[in-house]
Structure 1
Amino acid sequence: MKTTTEWSSFKLIDLFQVKGTKTTPKKKIDFDEYGRYPYITTSAINNGVYGYSESYTENGGVLTVDSAVRGVVFYQSTNFLASDHVEKLIPKFEITSLRAQFFITILNKNIRKYGYSYDHKRSQTKLKQEEIELPVTSSGLVNFKYIDNYMSSMQETVQKKIKRLTNLSSNEKTINTEKWNRFKLYESLFTVVTGNKFDFSKMTFKNPHVNFVGRSGLNNGVGGLVDEIKNVKPFPAGSLTVALGGSIGSSFIQTEDFYTSQNVAVLVPKIELSDLTKQFIATMIRRESDLYYSAFVNELNKHINTDFTVLLPVTSEGKIDFEYMEAYMAKINRLMYQNQRYFQKVVKGREVNIVENLTL
């Protein structure tokens, strides 16, 4: 699609009303797994959602802004509740999901431009002073037609590429696991440790540099950065984490030192394992969890260090076939890299990379 070369700066307050939300303390909420209304917090992942309930205080169709830590912006299409330090931007124009994603992308890029952080919060005062650059018509108005067409085109492109990605293995034979064996994680591969059981809302953020891993299946499980606690050494990078509740079985390699919330197990390798091998095992942990475990009914807590097993390939001698796992994951990673290139939009001039924030 041909890009527009006409962009201009606009005051945020010319496009949105900047307001606060009513704070609802977490302890006053009756959370319901099947609730209709999200509880929005200052989390930088999962659209800011902590959980769901059957009550709300705020109307949807607005952008929410974290004014406590990094200033991350999300779009809330439905009515919602909010924690402290959640501001809202009420559009003065007709908002759609695609338009919202366009504005979210630009506003989140502004985080770096304006240097928002724990010590330089994205408060209502700062938001009212903020400017954003948008495509304009020949008369200098926001070019919503361009935004709509651009986003529709990007959505169509991404949907096609996602379909291509999901069909990566369509021409390959299904892996035969009949000759694989089951292994307990703690027997020879890992030391299985209970996580810290910390509450993210009670952590401090004066000099945040330690990853905080929760039970989310997104963003490697990392909910944000927190201060290091005196006399509490973070878990080492290279360990695997496993969500025992929430997104049960979500397993990730942690690339930085970290703390954890409750219901997170930490797998510390007993032997030297490559990242490719860890990726393979993490995938098998999630597969096993999807098949046999579920939230509230049969969670992993009682099983991870007792009878939980995963299927792994073996050599003719019946030993774990590490070479096979590495080769297989290397092949998958190559295929993933090739398809990721379809998701990348080169930034030229003032064209904005929208793909990373598209909601499909």
Structure 2
Amino acid sequence: MARELEEVKWEKFKLGDLFRIKSNLQLNKNSFVFSENGEYPYFTRTVFNNGILGNVHYLDEEHKLKGNCLAVGMIAMRFFYMDKDFYAGQFTKRAIPIGFSLNSRLANYFITVLNKKSKIFQSSLVRNFEKVFKNEEVKLPVKNDGSIDFEFMTSFISELEARQISELEAYLVTTGLSDYVLTSEEEKFLEIFRENEVKWKKFKIGDLFEVNSYKKRFDANKVNILEEGHPYVVRTALNNGIRGYLKEDEEFLNEGNTISFGQDTATMFYQEKSYFTGDKIKIIKSKYKEFNKLNSHFFVSAMSKSFSTFAWGSSSFSISIIENQEIYLPIKNNEINFEFMETLISAIQKEIIKDVVLYTDKKIKATKKVVSNK
């Protein structure tokens, strides 16, 4: 970091001295047609996709808003950086810098600071937003002469970006996801799947897996959930079912290389490592030595599809119900075709990760260029 945070001086500034709030001349979305290759973003109150609902071609000069400013929707009160000229919908405003110019990194710094104030802005009436905004104070880094240290703010965000890109690059290499080029075998199996030329067979889950109860139930209200230790798997559909980590008696760890199954939600995830569980979790262990992390994605998808006809939460799935549920799997010579499953999953992963890797490569090159020019 160009300057250590401990060395930075901070001062409070009123937002009204930093930004001027302007209302946007609103353009009703029913008055035009969105276009995928439109050159102008259409900003609305959505909190997704940088607040952009879609893109449009040039409409008129009257409603076109000048970019390189911050835009905010009057419901969620979330700020976004609009680098290009844009059009806007109802109940949106702009925050235009006073006495300085934004760039993408400086904008990201201010967005982080301003979005921490969202609850304050949400608690005020829309008609009072500008007044509340002007009087709200934020802490910013300053130089020895008391002026805002915009250079530090830009450098700080730039170095954070470089660190994130470095970590992402390392992650892609470690996981093997940096390679997105399909092998001839992957291309062949992907084509077979797309052309619906796969031979399928129905199997009962109980013929493929042992369905076991957990070794011990750990009540979330009675354990210390940590950021390290062994995974603590519950019925959540988020984060691979992992709520956090526990340091408990390892005698009660459930076996890894299994599938965790939430009994009243039918949420299921492959668990590579040994894990503790919360309430109503079943441990599904394969009877086949070929079962692994890669083909587990195929099994989980097939099982999820099979259970999708049930009404979630209406009842708890018992061991017998799980065992008797049927799934379709690809076969070869009337046996489960593990090779096909693994090759297909590998191909799908590469297809999915391709755009991410290409985007990351561009970001890595751009970030290295910025860092080397400091």
TM-score by length of 1: 0.51
Counting only pairs closer than 5 Å after superposition, residues 155-194 of structure 1 correspond to structure 2 as 155-170=161-176
Match of 1:91 among 93, 97, 106: 97
Rounded to whole Å, the distance in 2 between the matches of 1:152 and 1:116 is 30
Shift of 1:274: 0.4
For residues 38 and 317 of structure 1, do their structure 2 counterparts lie closer, same or farther at Cα, with a shift above 3 Å needed?
Answer: same
1:21 corresponds in structure 2 to: 24
1:213 corresponds in structure 2 to: none
For residues 274 and 73 of structure 1, do their structure 2 counterparts lie closer, same or farther at Cα, with a shift above 3 Å needed?
Answer: same
Rounded to whole Å, the distance in 2 between the matches of 1:119 and 1:48 is 21
Shift of 1:125: 2.7
Counting only pairs closer than 5 Å after superposition, residues 231-250 of structure 1 correspond to structure 2 as none
Rounded to whole Å, the distance in 2 between the matches of 1:57 and 1:96 is 20
Give 3-state SS (helix, strand or coil) of 2:145's partner.
coil
1:14-71 per-residue CA deviation (whole Å, 9 max, x = no partner) reads: 111111111111101221110000000011111001111112510000000111x220
1:290 corresponds in structure 2 to: none
1:33 corresponds in structure 2 to: 36
Q: 125-134 vs 73-82, which deviates more?
A: 125-134
For residues 284 and 77 of structure 1, do their structure 2 counterparts lie closer, same or farther at Cα, with a shift above 3 Å needed?
Answer: farther
1:187-237 per-residue CA deviation (whole Å, 9 max, x = no partner) reads: 989xxxxxxxxxxxxxxxxxxxxxxxxxxxxxxxxxxxxxxxxxxxxxxx9
2:81 corresponds in structure 1 to: 75
Pick the structure with greater CA Rg. Answer: 2
Does the CA contact (< 8 Å) of 1:39 and 1:49 recur in 2? yes
Give 3-state SS (helix, strand or coil) of 2:175's partner.
coil
For residues 73 and 172 of structure 1, do their structure 2 counterparts lie closer, same or farther at Cα, with a shift above 3 Å needed?
Answer: closer
Counting only pairs closer than 5 Å after superposition, residues 282-301 of structure 1 correspond to structure 2 as none
For residues 172 and 34 of structure 1, do their structure 2 counterparts lie closer, same or farther at Cα, with a shift above 3 Å needed?
Answer: closer
Stretches of structure 1 that go unaligned for 5 or more consecutive residues are: 190-236, 241-251, 256-268, 286-310, 333-360
Rounded to whole Å, the distance in 2 between the matches of 1:172 and 1:45 is 27
Equivalent residue pairs, number = 226
For residues 172 and 152 of structure 1, do their structure 2 counterparts lie closer, same or farther at Cα, with a shift above 3 Å needed?
Answer: closer
Q: 136-145 vs 122-131, which deviates more?
A: 122-131
1:60 corresponds in structure 2 to: 67
For residues 138 and 27 of structure 1, do their structure 2 counterparts lie closer, same or farther at Cα, with a shift above 3 Å needed?
Answer: same
The one-letter amino acid paired with 1:43 is: T
The one-letter amino acid paired with 2:26 is: T
Counting only pairs closer than 5 Å after superposition, residues 268-279 of structure 1 correspond to structure 2 as 272-276=266-270
For residues 271 and 18 of structure 1, do their structure 2 counterparts lie closer, same or farther at Cα, with a shift above 3 Å needed?
Answer: closer
Does the CA contact (< 8 Å) of 1:41 and 1:86 recur in 2? yes
Counting only pairs closer than 5 Å after superposition, residues 68-217 of structure 1 correspond to structure 2 as 69-92=75-98, 93-112=100-119, 114=120, 116=122, 123-170=129-176
For residues 320 and 35 of structure 1, do their structure 2 counterparts lie closer, same or farther at Cα, with a shift above 3 Å needed?
Answer: same
The one-letter amino acid paired with 1:46 is: N
Rounded to whole Å, the distance in 2 between the matches of 1:164 and 1:74 is 29
Does the CA contact (< 8 Å) of 2:241 and 2:268 recur in 1? no
For residues 254 and 145 of structure 1, do their structure 2 counterparts lie closer, same or farther at Cα, with a shift above 3 Å needed?
Answer: same
1:272-319 per-residue CA deviation (whole Å, 9 max, x = no partner) reads: 450449x9469989xxxxxxxxxxxxxxxxxxxxxxxxx977799645
Rounded to whole Å, the distance in 2 between the matches of 1:8 and 1:64 is 25
Answer yes or no: is 1:43 the counterpart of 2:46: yes
Rounded to whole Å, the distance in 1 between the matches of 2:110 and 2:161 is 15
**RMSD of aligned alpha carbons:** 4.9
Rounded to whole Å, the distance in 2 between the matches of 1:108 and 1:47 is 13
Rounded to whole Å, the distance in 2 between the matches of 1:312 and 1:131 is 60
TM-score by length of 2: 0.49
The one-letter amino acid paired with 1:18 is: I
For residues 280 and 11 of structure 1, do their structure 2 counterparts lie closer, same or farther at Cα, with a shift above 3 Å needed?
Answer: farther
Rounded to whole Å, the distance in 1 between the matches of 2:14 and 2:299 is 46
Rounded to whole Å, the distance in 1 between the matches of 2:132 and 2:297 is 45
Rounded to whole Å, the distance in 1 between the matches of 2:106 and 2:29 is 31
Q: 158-167 vs 85-94, which deviates more?
A: 158-167
Give 3-state SS (helix, strand or coil) of 1:70's partner.
coil
For residues 179 and 149 of structure 1, do their structure 2 counterparts lie closer, same or farther at Cα, with a shift above 3 Å needed?
Answer: closer
Counting only pairs closer than 5 Å after superposition, residues 198-347 of structure 1 correspond to structure 2 as 272-276=266-270, 280=297, 318=335
